[in-house]
């Protein structure tokens, strides 16, 4: 399998590139002022890419990629030596295929799809010979999870399905060609499993009441389990299994036991010996490059402000040295044939489209395939500047700043004079922002805003002390970090007090609601996308298949099952302090969101309405945790752009036709956004409720 259909060992590789070889159009001169800077159309930034996600078949004969069919992203397949001859093989007509991969049999494309964002993923297999697609998990209301693919069993794969008990995924062996499914392990209470290339279940994980993790080995032919390893709560986020070597005797692990950052170690399952492969004192181990079949570790990455790689196997050194000369940006190997003779290499920049190459290792040459968004080429795109901001208690927060190009003529990461700013807060919170092209950052910078993305405490990749510093600090020190970042930007004269918006999705949406309630005078306005407003109802309504990890949430956010925990969660919930909202708020929500239910948006909108506090509420009936359909992304961003322009003073592209094909409804507050009511009526005759008006 490739990309998402992969084990830990078939992974990507990134290297910094030098100044030689093929290059972009050269350093673009910054426009002299805003009027000479073109307004980049939203559909260029947020519409479907031209072509994306190319992957080579395991035998190297064919290449697949994603591209539109009648406006919907599908998978195309053609000969590796003639990608122009590719044809569409899948037939999705609504949401578009976002994650796919090759089966090891070279004759099937595998992909997952849910229904309107409900995250009840089904696994589909498209037969390239018959052009027929089969649902391999045809059970309504359940979720399929990829477990393991192996070149040793090219027509089969392991899948987890929660069809017996909604909270637990049993492991099935599925025949890709026939759809035949065989139960190989019934889950009796485990969070998940680690398997190997021989399709053996090797380890089971169970979260402990204190928020730690226990790993178990199967005994007595899998009828019983024996404790193998205990992982403390402090190490939970930075320690765990990552896959096996070719022999199955060595377990690769991310391991922070006895140290702050996660190293990559090789653990001998027979002798209990641990051998350090790579570590970094500042950051956790990130990506890993390994041979497709030999499973030897070739290189590992570490990302502080930018990704850096450490080569462990000299057999790939010449390849990587050559790839540095091919193009600008960071090179990412995303697909490899089983014989390792052909690679797909992706070049990523912060101010241009992604470029894809086919690298023939035997010939030692890389051939340009295509870029993902040709319309971006030649546009005045902003650079992303890494900065490190100190929190008030001394933590280093790796952050990224993008500026309007006309306000940063010398490209030093400081505007010629203060500009309005959007504080962009990532979700998770157990994730991180990284360097690279971002449609959101480019869009906002082009509209005249500084964009600051902050890796606040709780962000991953910076060691266990940094991630654990967020425990029980939702709405407290985590929010202090964001305020410290705003104060830093003001002190650096990037922006001015009262000219900052806060925006984010999921946890970033929660942070937005915290911003407008806990610190109502700091932000000029807020944009909350699928963010929880009440932490108690959030934890009470998690999807059933998240329940095996409930103790992770209760020990890091707060325990809704105890009186003391409910008191803490109430104090950290924006809904409790609705009466403090004094600045404009825009809320976006998907009706089918299984993680942050629609009720999280509904209840704060209702509370604001009862207190006569204005709010604009945008709801999509065919979306879940975020907006997958490009028509809906364009619609919401059109609303957001007008909203920000009204309250921060940036420029904006009129809504125009950006509601066409979207399911957008505005249950409350259309009048709060310039042009929104008119656009709704012009597009489909909808009233605020989303129903046809007379």
pLDDT score recorded for residue 29 = 60
Sorted by sequence, the CB contacts under 8 Å of residue 228 that are 6+ apart come out as 203, 215, 216, 217
Does the pLDDT at position 372 exceed 70?
yes
pLDDT of amino acid 28: 55
Specify the pLDDT at position 330: 87
Topology classification of domain 382-497: Rossmann fold (3.40.50)
Backbone CA torsion sign across 568, 570, 574, 578: negative
Question: Rounded to two decimals, what is the model's pTM?
Answer: 0.94
Active site residues: 506, 593, 625
User: Which helix (H) or strand (E) covers residue 304, if one does?
Assistant: none
Measure the CA–CA gap between 63 and 66, rounded to whole angstroms.
11
Distance in Å from the first CA to the final CA of the chain: 53
φ, ψ dihedrals at 124, nearest 5°: -115, 150
Quickly state the pLDDT bin for 2 (edges 50, 70, 90): very low
CA angle 168, 10, 200 (to 5 degrees): 45
Read off the pLDDT of residues 323-356 as tens digits, 9 standing for 90 and up: 999 999 888 899 999 999 999 999 999 999 999 9
Cα–Cα distance measured from residue 35 to residue 448, given in angstroms and rounded to the nearest whole number: 11
Cα(297)–Cα(320) distance, integer angstroms? 15
pLDDT, averaged across the chain: 93
Which of these, 524, 526, 532, 535, lies nearest to 507 by C-alpha position?
Answer: 532
Write the secondary structure of 268-292 as one string of H (helix), E (strand) and C (coil): ECCCCCEEEEECCCCCCEEEEEECC
Q: Over the stretch 607-660, which tens digit does the pLDDT of each residue have?
A: 999 999 999 999 999 999 999 999 999 999 999 999 999 999 999 999 999 999
Task: Tell me the per-residue pLDDT of 29-87, one tens digit each, with 9 for 90 and over.
Answer: 667 788 889 999 999 999 999 999 999 999 999 999 999 999 999 999 999 999 889 99
């Amino acid at each position: 399998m490739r990309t998402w259909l992969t084990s830990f060992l078939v992974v990507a590789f990134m290297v910094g590139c030098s100044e030689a070889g093929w290059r972009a159009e050269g350093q673009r001169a910054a426009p002299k002022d805003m009027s000479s800077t073109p307004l980049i159309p939203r559909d260029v930034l947020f519409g479907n890419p031209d072509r994306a996600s190319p992957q080579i078949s395991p035998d190297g004969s064919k290449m697949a990629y994603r591209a539109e069919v009648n406006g919907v992203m599908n998978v195309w397949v053609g000969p590796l030596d003639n990608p122009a001859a590719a044809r569409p093989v899948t037939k999705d007509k609504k949401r578009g295929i976002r994650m796919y991969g090759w089966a090891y049999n070279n004759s099937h494309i595998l992909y997952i799809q849910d229904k309107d964002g409900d995250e009840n993923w089904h696994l589909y297999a498209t037969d390239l010979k018959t052009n027929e697609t089969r649902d391999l998990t045809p059970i309504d209301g359940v979720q399929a999870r990829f477990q393991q693919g192996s070149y040793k069993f090219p027509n089969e794969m392991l899948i987890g399905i929660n069809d017996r008990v909604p909270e637990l995924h049993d492991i099935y062996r599925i025949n890709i060609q026939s759809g035949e499914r065989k139960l190989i392990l019934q889950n009796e209470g485990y969070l998940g499993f680690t398997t190997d290339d021989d399709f053996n279940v090797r380890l089971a994980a169970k979260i402990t009441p204190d928020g730690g993790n226990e790993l178990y080995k199967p005994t007595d032919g899998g009828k019983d389990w024996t404790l193998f390893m205990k992982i403390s709560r402090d190490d939970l986020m930075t320690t765990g299994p990552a896959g096996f070597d070719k022999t199955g005797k060595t377990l690769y692990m991310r391991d922070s036991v006895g140290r702050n950052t996660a190293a990559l170690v090789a653990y001998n399952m027979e002798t209990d010996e641990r051998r350090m492969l790579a570590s970094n004192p500042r950051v956790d181990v990130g990506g890993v490059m390994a041979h497709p079949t030999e499973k030897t570790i070739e290189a590992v990455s570490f990302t502080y402000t930018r990704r850096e790689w450490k080569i462990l196997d000299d057999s790939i050194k010449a390849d990587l040295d050559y790839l540095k000369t091919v193009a600008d940006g960071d090179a990412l190997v995303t697909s490899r044939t089983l014989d390792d003779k052909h690679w797909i290499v992706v070049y990523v920049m912060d101010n241009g489209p992604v470029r894809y190459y086919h690298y023939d290792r035997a010939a030692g040459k890389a051939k340009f395939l295509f870029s993902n968004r040709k319309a971006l080429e030649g546009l005045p795109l902003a650079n992303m500047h890494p900065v490190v901001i100190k929190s008030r208690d001394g933590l280093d927060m790796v952050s990224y700043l993008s500026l309007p190009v006309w306000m940063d003529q010398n490209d030093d990461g400081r505007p010629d004079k203060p500009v309005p700013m959007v504080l962009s807060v990532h979700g998770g919170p157990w994730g991180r922002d990284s360097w690279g092209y971002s449609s959101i950052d480019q869009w906002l910078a082009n509209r005249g805003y500084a964009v600051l993305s902050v890796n606040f405490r709780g962000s991953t990749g910076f060691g266990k002390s940094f991630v654990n510093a967020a425990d029980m600090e939702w709405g407290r020190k985590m929010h202090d970090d964001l305020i410290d970042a705003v104060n830093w930007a003001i002190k650096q004269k990037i922006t001015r007090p009262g000219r900052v918006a806060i925006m984010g999705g999921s946890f970033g949406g929660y942070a937005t609601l915290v911003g407008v309630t806990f610190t109502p005078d700091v932000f000029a306005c807020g944009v909350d996308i699928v963010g929880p407003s009440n932490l108690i109802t959030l934890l009470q309504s998690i999807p059933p298949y998240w329940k095996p990890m409930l103790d992770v949430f209760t020990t890091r956010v707060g325990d809704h099952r105890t009186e003391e925990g409910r008191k803490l969660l109430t104090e950290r919930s924006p809904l409790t302090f609705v009466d403090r909202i004094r600045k404009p708020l825009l809320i976006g929500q998907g009706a089918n969101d299984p993680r942050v239910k629609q009720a999280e948006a509904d209840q704060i909108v209702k509370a604001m309405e009862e207190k006569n506090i204005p709010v604009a509420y945008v709801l999509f009936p065919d979306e879940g945790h975020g907006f997958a359909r490009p028509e809906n992304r364009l619609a919401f961003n059109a609303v957001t752009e007008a909203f920000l322009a009204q309250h921060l003073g940036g420029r904006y592209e009129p809504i125009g036709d950006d509601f066409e094909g979207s399911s957008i409804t505005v249950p409350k507050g259309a009048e709060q956004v310039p042009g929104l009511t008119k656009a709704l009526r012009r597009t489909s005759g909808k009233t605020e409720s989303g129903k046809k008006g007379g």
